[in-house]
Chain A
Amino acid sequence: AQKITQTQPGMFVQEKEAVTLDCTYDTSDPSYGLFWYKQPSSGEMIFLIYQGSYDQQNATEGRYSLNFQKARKSANLVISASQLGDSAMYFCAMREGNFGNEKLTFGTGTRLTIIP
């Protein structure tokens, strides 16, 4: 079974609208972390946001927030007031277990295109 599933291969969104990128995960470990990364056309991988499995509140970083629904095993990325510069590939990733297991498993990504 896929550990990280991103079901939207591509999305087109009008500039200034909010965007939700879906991510579901599969783990039996009670301790885990979820990450989102952005990869623009230039190719670099940019860390956006992190959510720990024991965190009580949803993580936020500027215009990015993570809609963490533990029972549904989903960790959707929400981008508010989208901008042209948000056009990129977005990857969801998961780390399982306690400190000492730093490996990340990545989803296959969602290509987001912001339309002016």
Chain B
Amino acid sequence: DAGITQSPRYKITETGRQVTLMCHQTWSHSYMFWYRQDLGHGLRLIYYSAAADITDKGEVPDGYVVSRSKTENFPLTLESATRSQTSVYFCASAGPAYEQYFGPGTRLTVT
């Protein structure tokens, strides 16, 4: 299917565990993004990538790691999950008019 997908859609993990959230897009968009959405904060940018092997920090990067070996994939890793990382995570890619298209989101709970 064309578009942008995320997996898993729901994840419960324990404090201190490593978690990887997957993002895949089929449009060959150069730019990809990871956001987290929390009540009262809207969406905040965690990391973004301008192309394969090019990544940069956003507003709230601490505790997260990204990689982008292929244009279509942009995984986000929480190296040692904390309760403050409980959130909804959205992946997005940027279209030709700068508009961003979002994946369905991953709801992550850290216990």
- Residues of A near any B CB (own CB < 8 A): 33, 35, 37, 43-47, 50, 91, 93, 95, 99-100, 102-109
Contacts and interface: CB of A to CB of B under 8 A. Distances in A.
Given A43-B104, A44-B102, A45-B102, A102 B42 contact: no
A102 B101 contact: no
B15 to A, nearest CB: 25
A104 B45 contact: yes
Contacts of B44: 106
B42 A50 contact: no
Nearest to B31: A102
Interface of B: 31, 33, 35, 40-45, 48, 50, 58, 88, 90, 92, 94, 97-102, 104-105
Contacts of A106: 35, 42-44
Contacts of B99: 35, 47, 50
A41 B33 CA distance: 22
B90 A45 contact: yes
A103 B98 contact: no
Nearest to A95: B98
20 contacts: A33-B98, A35-B99, A45-B43, A45-B102, A45-B105, A46-B102, A47-B101, A47-B102, A50-B97, A102-B31, A102-B33, A102-B50, A102-B98, A102-B100, A104-B33, A104-B100, A106-B35, A106-B42, A107-B42, A109-B42
